[in-house]
Amino acid sequence: MLVCMRITDVAIIIVLKAIEFLFAGNHFSRKFVTMLLASYTDDLIEAGCDEAGRGCLAGPVVAAAVILPKKYKHALLNDSKQLTKVAREALRIDIQRDALAWAVGVVDHEEIDKINILNASFKAMHLAIDTLKTRPDLLLIDGNRFKPYGDVRFECIVKGDATYLSIAAASILAKTHRDDFMIRLADQYPGYSWETNVGYPTEAHREGIRQCGVTPFHRRSFALLPQQLELF
E strands in the chain = 46-52, 61-67, 101-107, 138-142, 153-157
Q: Please tell me the pTM assigned to this model.
A: 0.84
Distance from C-alpha of 116 to C-alpha of 114, rounded to nearest angstrom: 6
Beta-strand relationship, 138-142 and 46-52: parallel
Q: Do 141 and 158 meet the contact criterion of CB atoms below 8 Å apart?
A: no
Dihedral sign (CA 84, 129, 194, 222): negative
Task: Give per-residue pLDDT as tens, 131-162.
Answer: 999 999 999 999 999 999 999 999 999 999 99
Average pLDDT over residues 6-13: 49
Q: How far is CA 54 from the centre of its chain?
A: 10
Task: Give per-residue pLDDT as tens, 81-97.
Answer: 999 999 999 999 999 99
Task: Provide the β-strand partners of residue 61.
Answer: 107
CATH topology of domain 35-232: Nucleotidyltransferase; domain 5 (3.30.420)
If DSSP codes are grouped into helix, strand and coil, which group holds residue 69?
Answer: coil
Sorted by where each begins, the domain ranges of the chain are: 1-33, 35-232
